[in-house]
Structure 1
Amino acid sequence: MSIEFSKQLKAHDTPIPGVVLYDLPVHGDNRGWFKENWQREKMVALGLPDFRPVQNNISFNEKAGTTRGIHAEPWDKFISVATGRIFGAWVDLREGPSFGAVFTAELDPSQAIFIPRGVGNAFQTLEDNTAYTYLVNDHWSADAQGQYTFLNLADETAGIQWPIPLEQAELSDKDKAHPRLGDVTPMPPKKILVLGANGQLGKALRRLYEGDTSVEFAGRDAIDLTAEDSLTNVNWKNYATVVNAAAYTAVDTAETPDGRSSAWNVNVTAVARLARIAVDHDLTLVQVSSDYVFDGSEKTHAEDEALSPLGVYGQTKAAGDAVVTVVPKHYIVRTSWVIGDGNNFVRTMSSLASRGVRPAVVDDQFGRLTFTADIASGIRHLLETRPSYGVYNLTNDGPEQSWANIAADVYELSGSSRDDVTGVSTEEYFAGKSASPRPRNSGLALAKIKASGFAPVPSRERLVAYLKDGA
Structure 2
Amino acid sequence: MIEFGKQLQQTGTGIPGLVLWDLPVHGDSRGWFKENWQREKMVAAGLPDFGPVQNNISFNDAIGTTRGIHAEPWDKWVSVATGRVFGAWVDLREGPTFGAVFTAELDASRAIFVPHGVGNSYQTLEADTAYAYLVNDHWSPDARYSFLNLADETVGISWPIALADAEISEKDLAHPRLADVMPLSPRRVLVVGANGQLGRALRAELGSGAHIEYAARDELDITSPDLDSARPWREFDTIINVAAYTAVDLAETAGGRRDAWAANASAVAALARVAAANRLTMVHVSSDYVFDGALDRPYGEDEPLSPLGVYGQTKAAGDAIVSTLPRHYIVRTSWVIGEGKNFVRTMAGLAANGADPRVVDDQIGRLSFTDEIARGILHLLTSRAPFGTYNLTGGGMETSWADVARSVFALTGHDPRRVTGVSTHDYFSGAAGPVAPRPRRSTLDLTKLERTGFATRDAAAQLDEYIRRSIDGNGARA
Instruction: Verify same fold: TM over 0.5.
Output: yes
Matches within 5 A, 1:3-18: 3-18=2-17
In structure 1, C-alpha distance between the alignment counterparts of 2:84 and 2:94, rounded to whole Å: 31
In structure 1, C-alpha distance between the alignment counterparts of 2:2 and 2:446, rounded to whole Å: 55
Q: Which of 320, 323, 341 matches 2:321?
A: 323
Aligned to 1:268: 265
What amino acid is the match of 1:98?
A: T
1:417 aligns with 2:424: no
In structure 2, C-alpha distance between the alignment counterparts of 1:26 and 1:455, rounded to whole Å: 44
Q: Residues 289, 167 of structure 1: CA spacing in aligned structure 2 closer, same or farther, 3 A cutoff?
A: same
- For residues 216-259 of structure 1, the C-alpha deviation after alignment (integer angstroms, 9 at most, x for no partner) is 21111111222232353111112212111100000000000110
What amino acid is the match of 2:73?
A: P
In structure 2, C-alpha distance between the alignment counterparts of 1:110 and 1:400, rounded to whole Å: 56
- CA deviation after TM superposition for structure 1 residue 414, in Å: 2.5
Measured on the aligned residues, the alpha-carbon RMSD in Å equals: 1.9
1:460 aligns with 2:460: yes
Aligned to 1:95: 94
1:180 aligns with 2:177: yes
Identical columns (%): 63
- CA deviation after TM superposition for structure 1 residue 23, in Å: 3.2
In structure 2, C-alpha distance between the alignment counterparts of 1:458 and 1:6, rounded to whole Å: 53
In structure 1, C-alpha distance between the alignment counterparts of 2:454 and 2:7, rounded to whole Å: 40
Q: Residues 24, 425 of structure 1: CA spacing in aligned structure 2 closer, same or farther, 3 A cutoff?
A: closer
The answer to whether the 8 Å contact 1:293/1:315 transfers is yes
In structure 2, C-alpha distance between the alignment counterparts of 1:231 and 1:352, rounded to whole Å: 47
Aligned to 1:439: 439
In structure 2, C-alpha distance between the alignment counterparts of 1:330 and 1:80, rounded to whole Å: 29
In structure 2, C-alpha distance between the alignment counterparts of 1:424 and 1:50, rounded to whole Å: 52
In structure 1, C-alpha distance between the alignment counterparts of 2:376 and 2:69, rounded to whole Å: 39
The answer to whether the 8 Å contact 1:225/1:231 transfers is no
- For residues 365-404 of structure 1, the C-alpha deviation after alignment (integer angstroms, 9 at most, x for no partner) is 1222211111111111111222222222111123222222
Give the secondary-structure state (helix, strand or coil) at the position aligned to 2:348: helix
- For residues 81-106 of structure 1, the C-alpha deviation after alignment (integer angstroms, 9 at most, x for no partner) is 22333222222222222222222233
The answer to whether the 8 Å contact 1:295/1:439 transfers is yes
* Dislocated runs of 4+, deviation >6 Å: none
The answer to whether the 8 Å contact 1:371/1:396 transfers is yes
Q: TM-score, normalised by structure 1?
A: 0.94
Q: Residues 204, 121 of structure 1: CA spacing in aligned structure 2 closer, same or farther, 3 A cutoff?
A: same
In structure 2, C-alpha distance between the alignment counterparts of 1:249 and 1:101, rounded to whole Å: 47
What amino acid is the match of 1:464?
A: D
Give the secondary-structure state (helix, strand or coil) at the position aligned to 1:348: helix
Matches within 5 A, 1:344-423: 344-423=342-421
Aligned to 1:277: 274
Aligned to 2:427: 429
Q: Residues 35, 459 of structure 1: CA spacing in aligned structure 2 closer, same or farther, 3 A cutoff?
A: closer
More displaced stretch, 260-269 vs 113-122? 113-122
Structure 2 gap ranges (5+): 472-476
What amino acid is the match of 1:176?
A: L
Q: Residues 32, 442 of structure 1: CA spacing in aligned structure 2 closer, same or farther, 3 A cutoff?
A: closer
Aligned to 2:451: 451
What amino acid is the match of 1:259?
A: G
More displaced stretch, 190-199 vs 110-119? 110-119
More displaced stretch, 48-57 vs 419-428? 419-428
1:60 aligns with 2:59: yes
- CA deviation after TM superposition for structure 1 residue 306, in Å: 1.4
Aligned to 1:234: 231
Give the secondary-structure state (helix, strand or coil) at the position aligned to 2:132: strand
The answer to whether the 8 Å contact 2:251/2:310 transfers is yes
- CA deviation after TM superposition for structure 1 residue 280, in Å: 2.0
- For residues 351-372 of structure 1, the C-alpha deviation after alignment (integer angstroms, 9 at most, x for no partner) is 2222212222222212222111
In structure 2, C-alpha distance between the alignment counterparts of 1:94 and 1:335, rounded to whole Å: 34
Aligned to 2:474: none
In structure 1, C-alpha distance between the alignment counterparts of 2:106 and 2:445, rounded to whole Å: 52
1:36 aligns with 2:41: no
Give the secondary-structure state (helix, strand or coil) at the position aligned to 1:205: helix
Aligned to 2:83: 84
More displaced stretch, 207-216 vs 441-450? 207-216
- CA deviation after TM superposition for structure 1 residue 312, in Å: 0.3
Q: Residues 83, 246 of structure 1: CA spacing in aligned structure 2 closer, same or farther, 3 A cutoff?
A: same
Give the secondary-structure state (helix, strand or coil) at the position aligned to 1:143: coil
What amino acid is the match of 2:284?
A: Q
In structure 1, C-alpha distance between the alignment counterparts of 2:8 and 2:301, rounded to whole Å: 38
- CA deviation after TM superposition for structure 1 residue 438, in Å: 0.8
Structure 1 gap ranges (5+): none
In structure 1, C-alpha distance between the alignment counterparts of 2:115 and 2:295, rounded to whole Å: 46
Matches within 5 A, 1:301-340: 301-340=299-338
Give the secondary-structure state (helix, strand or coil) at the position aligned to 1:310: coil
